[in-house]
């Protein structure tokens, strides 16, 4: 009976202690599982501890030694797997890009306009007898456009012609008489003066009659305003209006940041909204900027021999200002470093990652033109977000040359 009592008391004590320290461990020497890590019950020297441990193991309150060793082995294997994963090199894919000469262009937006609009005017007063052209006709310089009623101009011309012939005859007669000394020498001046006056009247009568025919002073296309037959035109009145489309003029604005690169005679390619392209040259640069936009008006003279390009069309002009070495890369390779700097990650000698900041020069349908890279560079195209500068990687280069 006392035997049972003593064991019962010991059992109850150990159960109480075991409940507190059920699966606790004591770690000696700061080792990990299986390396100095000991269950508390193994470290405590109490009467009946071995039997209590056996009972608690049997009831599943604590792990058996085999189970503890198995758990320690699993933990060690997991730690080794994590270390192996950390030691394994990151794989990336690269592509080789080489520098190219990128043309630097300045783009102008504007519209086409006629070189000039010329009003062909009458030089004398008269009724418009006939207009020889219609609206839309293309005329050349020197072509007859309008004819005014001559009125009495032909009669005045005949009278002036008769007076001139009479003055000429009188002058010749006086000359012969003076040569024979039959007329005073001082009479020559009077006859010469009369002849000159008659000649001036004749010339004026001819010119007045010629003014009844109005010719084109320059080529162009006929448009309104136009006089109609029967209209009374005074001197300076408009007969027809001509629009000169050859050469044509493109008018656009250049931003103040680019105006120093534009010069007279700079070759320019103009493309209209209708799809026509024509080469021209800068013919005028405004000395002052637009107060609202701070841009400078620029004119480009364009050849238009067949008048194919009309005035007033929306157009875009581009001028090549030079070239700059740059790389054409896909937009997907651009990334940011920890400081937020835009650039690309590359693989250099020794399969180490490096970061190069870049500047975007131009975007295109084929990619992004950037500067700031070595002449030939292996850019990471896949995996650039999972590596950092200085990290060693396994690089798989998919191409030797970039294509534009």
Within this chain, do residues 61 and 95 fall inside the same structural domain, yes or no?
no
Please report whether residue 172 resides in a domain: yes
Within this chain, do residues 64 and 98 fall inside the same structural domain, yes or no?
no
Within this chain, do residues 329 and 383 fall inside the same structural domain, yes or no?
yes
Read off the pLDDT band of 324 (50, 70, 90): confident
CB atoms within 10 A of CB 52: 22
Nearest to 321 by CA among 359, 284, 361, 354: 361
Q: What is the pLDDT of residue 2?
A: 55
Within this chain, do residues 333 and 393 fall inside the same structural domain, yes or no?
yes
* Choice between 188 and 376, residue whose per-residue pLDDT is larger: 376
- Tally of domains within the chain: 3
Which of 166, 181, 211 lies at the terminal end of a domain, its last residue? 211
Within this chain, do residues 75 and 94 fall inside the same structural domain, yes or no?
no
Q: Report whether pLDDT(170) > 70.
A: yes
Read off the pLDDT band of 329 (50, 70, 90): very high
| CATH code of 379's domain | 2.40.420.20
Please report whether residue 289 resides in a domain: no
* Choice between 87 and 340, residue whose per-residue pLDDT is larger: 340
Q: What is the pLDDT of residue 281?
A: 93
Q: What is the pLDDT of residue 314?
A: 93
Within this chain, do residues 19 and 80 fall inside the same structural domain, yes or no?
yes
The CA dihedral of 381, 384, 385, 390, to the nearest 10 degrees, is: -170
Tens digit of pLDDT for each residue in 67-117?
667 777 777 777 666 665 555 788 899 999 999 998 877 888 899 999 899
Q: Report whether pLDDT(334) > 60.
A: yes
Read off the pLDDT band of 18 (50, 70, 90): low
Q: What is the DSSP string of 185-254?
A: GGGHHHHHHHHHHHHHHHHHHHHHHHTTEEE-SS-EEEESS---TTPEEPTT-EEEEEEEEEEEEEEEEE
Please report whether residue 27 resides in a domain: yes
DSSP one-letter code for 55: H
Within this chain, do residues 56 and 97 fall inside the same structural domain, yes or no?
no
Q: Report whether pLDDT(155) > 50.
A: yes
Q: Report whether pLDDT(303) > 90.
A: yes
Residue 356 is part of which domain span?
90-102+325-397
Which of 86, 113, 133 lies at the terminal end of a domain, its last residue? 86
Please report whether residue 19 resides in a domain: yes
Three-state DSSP at 315 gives: strand
Tens digit of pLDDT for each residue in 172-218?
988 888 888 888 888 888 888 999 999 999 999 999 999 999 999 88
Within this chain, do residues 97 and 59 fall inside the same structural domain, yes or no?
no
Read off the pLDDT band of 269 (50, 70, 90): very high
Within this chain, do residues 95 and 163 fall inside the same structural domain, yes or no?
no
Please report whether residue 98 resides in a domain: yes
- Rounded to 5°, angle at Cα 22 from 16 and 27: 125
Pairing status of strand 37-39 against strand 295-302: unpaired
Q: What is the pLDDT of residue 52?
A: 52
Within this chain, do residues 59 and 95 fall inside the same structural domain, yes or no?
no
Outline where DSSP puts E strands in 2-80. 25-27, 37-39
Sign of the alpha-carbon torsion through 390, 395, 400, 403: negative
Q: Report whether pLDDT(13) > 70.
A: no
Tens digit of pLDDT for each residue in 23-42?
444 444 445 555 555 554 45
In whole numbers, what is the pLDDT of the chain averaged over residues? 83
Read off the pLDDT band of 14 (50, 70, 90): low
Please report whether residue 237 resides in a domain: no
| CATH code of 184's domain | 1.10.287
Tokens of 157: 């011309």
Please report whether residue 274 resides in a domain: no
Q: What is the pLDDT of residue 106?
A: 80
Please report whether residue 81 resides in a domain: yes
Q: Report whether pLDDT(245) > 60.
A: yes
The region that residue 350 occupies, defined by phi over 0 for left and psi between -120 and 50 for alpha, beta otherwise, is left
Which of 211, 232, 253 lies at the terminal end of a domain, its last residue? 211
């Amino acid at each position: 009976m006392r035997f049972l009592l003593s064991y019962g008391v010991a059992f109850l004590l150990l159960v109480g202690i075991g409940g507190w320290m059920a699966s606790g461990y004591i770690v000696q020497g700061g080792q990990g599982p299986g390396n100095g890590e000991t269950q508390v019950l193994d470290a405590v020297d109490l009467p009946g501890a071995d039997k209590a441990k056996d009972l608690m193991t049997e009831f599943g309150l604590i792990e058996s030694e085999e189970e503890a060793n198995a758990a320690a082995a699993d933990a060690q294997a997991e730690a080794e797997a994590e270390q192996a994963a950390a030691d394994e090199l990151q794989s990336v894919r690269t592509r080789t890009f080489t520098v190219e000469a990128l043309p630097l262009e300045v783009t102008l937006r504007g519209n086409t306009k006629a070189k000039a609009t010329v009003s062909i005017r009458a030089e004398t007063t008269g009724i418009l007898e006939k207009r020889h052209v219609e609206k839309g006709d293309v005329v050349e310089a020197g072509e007859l456009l309008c004819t005014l009623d001559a009125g009495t101009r032909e009669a005045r011309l005949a009278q002036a012609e008769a007076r001139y012939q009479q003055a000429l005859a009188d002058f010749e007669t006086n000359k012969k008489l003076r040569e024979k000394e039959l007329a005073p020498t001082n009479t020559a001046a009077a006859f010469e003066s009369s002849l000159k006056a008659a000649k001036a009247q004749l010339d004026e009568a001819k010119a007045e009659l010629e003014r009844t025919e109005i010719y084109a002073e320059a080529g162009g296309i006929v448009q309104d305003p136009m006089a109609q037959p029967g209209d009374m035109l005074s001197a300076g009145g408009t007969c027809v209006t001509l629009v000169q489309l050859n050469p044509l003029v493109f008018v656009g604005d250049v931003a103040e940041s680019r105006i120093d690169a534009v010069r007279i005679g700079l070759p320019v390619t103009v493309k209209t909204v209708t799809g026509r392209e024509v080469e021209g040259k800068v013919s005028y640069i405004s000395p002052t900027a637009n107060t609202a936009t701070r841009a400078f008006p620029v004119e480009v003279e364009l050849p238009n021999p067949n008048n194919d390009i009309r005035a007033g069309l929306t157009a875009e002009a581009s001028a090549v200002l030079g070239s700059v070495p740059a790389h054409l890369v896909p937009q997907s390779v651009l990334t940011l470093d920890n400081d937020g700097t835009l650039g690309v990650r590359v693989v250099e000698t020794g399969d180490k990652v490096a970061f190069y900041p870049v500047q975007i020069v131009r975007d295109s349908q084929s990619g992004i033109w950037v500067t700031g890279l070595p002449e030939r560079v292996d850019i990471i195209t896949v995996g650039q977000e999972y590596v950092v500068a200085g990290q060693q990687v396994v690089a798989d280069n998919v191409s030797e040359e970039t294509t534009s």
